[in-house]
Amino acid sequence: MSQPTVDPTFYRSPAEAAAAPVEELAYVAAFDRGGTTNDAMTVVDLNPDSDTYGKVVGWTDMPTVGDELHHFGWNACSSALKHEGHDMDGLARRYLLVPGLRSSNIHVLDTGPDPRNPTHVKTIDRADLSAKAGYSRPHTLHCGPDGVFLTCLGGPEGNDDGPGGIALLDHETFDVVRAWETDRGPQHFHYDAWWHLNQNVLISSEWGSPSMIEDGLVPELLLGQKYGHAIHFWDLATGRHQQRVDLGAQHQMALEVRPAHDPDATWGFVGVVVSTEDLSGSVWRWFRDGDEWKVEKVITIPAEPADPDVLPPALKPFGAVPPLVTDIDLSVDDRFLYVSCWGIGEMKQFDVSDPAHPRQTGSVRLGGIVDRAPHPARPDVPIAGAPQMVEVSRDGRRVYFTNSLYGAWDDQFYPDGVGAWMAKLDADPDGGLSIDENFFPHGEEFRGRRVHQIRLQGGDASSDSYCYR
């Protein structure tokens, strides 16, 4: 009997992933804030030896309008190696599943025939997601051993405000199978979810219901501490809720969860957007202590004083600009944590070799609500938006990010517009960051769309979980 063919981009361990060939393409979601023209999947050339380095070289329009493409991912990845007895023949990291946060559509793109020009092959619509899983407003997806886990902010049609949860999709047919949870316990809000595969534990986080985010941040809800401020721990195999850990009501909007890539680890990080006490942002570490999960704040990033005259209306009363921690990413070797500070326009790098005691080792400023720090490629042009969706190469040497958060929130914090841009940093193996001056796709390269999440060819630091050391 012949051995099954395994996709070479399914890596058994973090070290194997880091040693794999370097990425040459990035897939970048682009959306039309007005909702009148098609959102698109763009493809950016990452090969520094190419004549089109740092340029948009591929473009795929979605068949619908008004999607606001958000966090997307692969149909299958390294976690498939955890599925005992799974038929690996033909299973490949080939299809991108791309949710529309506003429309609840999920588009499926095939990168197989021509990686530079993905083809649209299927759309899962709002009605199908609602009928089969009881959810809407798909937000983030991760390829798991048994299928695709798709987090959703809203409940079924007619009850958009939830509770939100996780829809399970088949990673070969892309059919919606069911709701993943069998007992949700006290969980209501949803945002992100990922896991410690070898520990049979899933971790989820909280943002808010669709009505709380649809038209921007609601100041009354924020000051009333009504947004999410807890993380949840689940039995991954059964979908049963096990423990809720509250970060404190003042720590509003617990967003990205980044478990350690080491398959034997039992710790990870979650980013918190803002504190209602002092406008600081923060990063928290979770860890297992005996039979319980605990959290501790390990990074605090303070707000920066600012002239109210240069602040958007939402921030004028405070006379300060909050960092707004809107994304974090952990390198595949679990060495460095990257923190996007979308308010002040800063990408921070922390050495987390000791995850309980992070140490800042690098920082770059671009954009920002007040500073509008320019890119070296255009030193005379202030830029809007700021480091937001961040992605790290498997070997940890390159860091990519885009500048848009969510359409309505862009408008609220950058009322004169954010434009569209993508940047790349070079990361020193011993710590430190520098801007690649030759890489700056921006403006009309994205045809009037704003840009959000990035996925790297062959996988990246936030797409894969590993089964072996």
In a domain, 139, yes or no: yes
In a domain, 282, yes or no: yes
Tens digit of pLDDT per residue, the chain (469 long)? Answer: 455 678 999 999 999 999 999 999 999 999 999 999 999 999 999 999 999 999 999 999 999 999 999 999 999 999 999 865 556 667 899 999 999 999 999 999 999 999 999 999 999 999 999 999 999 999 999 999 889 999 999 999 999 998 999 999 998 899 999 999 999 999 999 999 999 999 999 999 999 999 999 999 999 999 999 999 999 999 999 999 999 999 999 999 999 999 999 999 999 999 999 999 999 999 999 999 999 999 999 999 999 999 999 999 999 999 999 999 999 999 999 999 999 999 999 999 999 999 999 999 999 999 999 999 999 999 999 999 999 999 999 999 999 999 999 999 999 999 999 999 999 999 999 999 999 999 999 999 999 999 999 999 999 999 999 998 8
The whole model's pTM is what? 0.97
Residue closest to 439 by CA, chosen among 338, 369, 364, 370: 364
In a domain, 263, yes or no: yes
In a domain, 289, yes or no: yes
Please say whether the dihedral angle defined by the alpha carbons of residues 96, 170, 105 and 137, taken in this order, is positive or negative. negative
Residues 179, 61 contacting (CB under 8 angstroms): no
Residue closest to 413 by CA, chosen among 224, 229, 279: 279
Which letter does DSSP use for residue 130 in this model? H
Strands 73-74 and 95-99: antiparallel
CA dihedral 37, 162, 260, 277 (to 10 degrees): 100
C-alpha–C-alpha distance, residues 43 and 27, integer Å: 5
C-alpha–C-alpha distance, residues 155 and 153, integer Å: 7
Residue 124's identity, in one-letter code, is I
What CATH number does residue 197 fall under? 2.130.10.10
H helices, E strands: number in the chain: 5, 30
**Helical ranges in 235-339 per DSSP H:** none
Domain that holds residue 343: 14-25+71-95+125-456
C-alpha–C-alpha distance, residues 453 and 31, integer Å: 11
C-alpha–C-alpha distance, residues 160 and 442, integer Å: 35
Number of domains comprising the chain:
1
Which letter does DSSP use for residue 116 in this model? T
DSSP labels, 150-201: EEEEE-STT-TT---EEEEE-TTT--EEEES-SB-TT------EEEEGGGTE
In a domain, 317, yes or no: yes
In a domain, 7, yes or no: no
Query: Torsions phi, psi of 245, nearest 5?
Result: -120, 115
In a domain, 465, yes or no: no
In a domain, 170, yes or no: yes
